[in-house]
Amino acid sequence: MNFSNFFIILFIILLFFPCIFIPFAYSDELNITKDDSNLSIILSEHGFAWPIPGYTKITSPFGKRTSPTAGASSFHKGLDIGAPEGTSLVAVNDGKISYIGFLGGGGYTITLSFDDFKITYCHVSPNFIVSVGDTIKQGEIIGHVGPKYVYGVPGNTYKDSSGRPTNGATTGCHLHLGFRINNEYVDPMDYF
C-alpha cells in the first residue's frame, strides 16, 4: 500500500469514527414496546425523552419568527418538529395527563403535567388514546401527530387559504411541543 492510499484510509477512519460513537456518549436509550410498536427512545442529558422518535427536524424554533399563517403568533412559544400524520408521540417524562381537547391555535392538544412542568403536545390526532387523570410513564405513547385538516370542531376559526378548517394554526402535519415551568413558557431545546 502506498502512502497516499494509507492517508486516504486514515482520513476516512478519522472522519467517520466520531460520527459512530459520539451520539451515544451523550444520551441513554430506553426501548419501549406498546401498541405493537418498538420505539427507541433517546434520553437527553437532562433526563427528558425526545417526544417524537425518529423525527428531529425542527421546522420552527422557539422565539421570534414571521407568522407562518393567520392566527399564529410572531413569538413562537414552542418547538415545531416536522413529522407525518400518525407518527407516535411519547411522554417526555413521567406525569399525569391534565388536558385533552381542542385548544385554539394549538388545535387538538394533550398536556402532560409533572412537578412544576406542563408539556403541551399540539396539532395531535383527535383520536385520543389517553384521558385526563391518566398516570403516564416516560416513553409511553400518548398520542399521534394529527391531520392538517379537521372538520366539525365547534368554534374553530383556523382555516387555510382554500377555506378548509385546520387543526389549529398550522400549515401542515407536525408536533408543536410547548414547555411551561410555573406557567412560563421556556425553550424546550434547553432540556434536550
User: How far apart (Å, rounded) are the C-alpha atoms in residues 125 and 148?
Assistant: 9
Kindly state whether residue 7 falls inside one of the protein's structural domains: no
Asked whether residue 8 is domain-assigned, the answer is no
Q: What is the pLDDT of residue 65?
A: 58
What is the predicted pLDDT for the residue at 88? Answer: 97
Contact 105/169 with Cβ under 8 angstroms? Answer: yes
What percent of the chain stands above pLDDT 90?
62
Q: Please check whether residue 14 lies inside any domain of the structure.
A: no
Within a domain: 122: yes
pLDDT over threshold 90, residue 144: yes
Identify whether the C-beta of residue 158 lies closer than 8 Å to the C-beta of residue 148: no
- The answer to the question of residue 156 being in a domain is yes
CB 123 within 8 A of CB 170: yes
Q: What is the CATH number of the domain that holds 53?
A: 2.70.70.10
pTM above 0.85, yes or no: no
Question: Which residues span the domain enclosing 102?
Answer: 27-191
Domain count, the chain: 1
> Does residue 48 form part of some domain?
yes
Q: What does the pLDDT look like over 90-103, one tens digit per residue?
A: 999 999 999 999 99
Q: Does residue 32 surpass a pLDDT of 60? A: no
What proportions of the chain, in percent to the nearest 5, are helix, strand and coil? Answer: 15, 40, 45
In tens, the pLDDT along 153-191 reads 999 999 998 999 999 988 889 999 999 999 999 999 999
Residue 98 lies in a domain: yes
User: What distance in Å separates the CA atoms of residue 162 and residue 168, rounded to the nearest whole number?
Assistant: 15
Q: Is residue 2 part of a domain?
A: no
